[in-house]
Chains A and B, each alone.
Chain A
Amino acid sequence: GENVEQHPSTLSVQEGDSAVIKCTYSDSASNYFPWYKQELGKGPQLIIDIRSNVGEKKDQRIAVTLNKTAKHFSLHITETQPEDSAVYFCAASDGAGNMLTFGGGTRLMVKP
C-alpha cells in the first residue's frame, strides 16, 4: 500500500519568513495530493490540493509543487503570519475515489 513520509515534524519560523514542508510517497499510482491544516482541537481543513497532471499550483501565499518522477511534493507558505501556526498534513491517493494516506504531520510555529 501507499506510504507517505513528511518532514520536518516541527518547524519554527519568524513572521514574514517562508515555510516549506516536504512529503514523499511510495505508490507511483497516486495522482491526488491534498494538504490539510489542523488547528488545535479542530478537524483538518483542506487548504490546497494538486493532481498529477500539473507540477505546481498556487493560491495566494500558499503553493504546492509536485515531482512525480521523484515521488515527492511540497507545501510552500510565503510571508508567514502567526495565524498560520498549526499542524499541516500532506496526503496521497490514487484518485478513483480511494482513501487518503496521510503523512505524519508538521507542527508549524510562526513567531511574531
Chain B
Amino acid sequence: GAVVSQHPSRVICKSGTSVKIECRSLDFQATTMFWYRQFPKQSLMLMATSNEGSKATYEQGVEKDKFLINHASLTLSTLTVTSAHPEDSSFYICSARDAGALETQYFGPGTRLLVL
C-alpha cells in the first residue's frame, strides 16, 4: 500500500515551454500533497504544500506564478512549470500524506526535468 506515482518520469523541453507533472496517490486518499525540488547531491527543498480544493501554500522564494499547482481531487495534484528556463532543470518530487495517518508522507519516484 501507500503508493505514489508521478508522470512523466523524465522530460526534456525547450526553453520557454511549459511542463506539467502529475502526482497521484494510488491506494489512499491524500488531502495534502507536497512538491519538492532536489538538486544533485542536495537535500529536498519544499516548494509548496498542496491542499485538495484550496490554493497551494508556497514556500518563501518560490514563485507561485511560475510553479502552478492544482490539487483537484484527493488523489491527484499537478505541478506546471511555466515558461521553463535552464535553471529550472532539476529533480521534482511529490509526496502525499495519507488522510488516515496525518504524519506519514509517501514520496513519488520523481520527475527529472531538463530544460534546453
Contacts and interface: CB of A to CB of B under 8 A. Distances in A.
Contacts of B4: 43
Interface residues of A, number: 22
Interface of B is mostly: strand
A72 to B, nearest CB: 18
Interface residues of B, number: 21
Interface of A is mostly: loop
B109 A95 contact: no
Interface in A11-52: 32, 34, 36, 41-46, 49, 51
Contacts of A99: 34, 46, 49
B105 A95 contact: no
A59 to B, nearest CB: 15
B97 A97 contact: yes
Interface of A: 32, 34, 36, 41-46, 49, 51, 89, 93, 95-97, 99-100, 102-105
A54 B115 CA distance: 46
Interface string B35-57: 00000001110100100000000
A105 B43 contact: yes
A93 B103 contact: yes
B43 A43 contact: no
Nearest to B45: A102
B44 A89 contact: yes
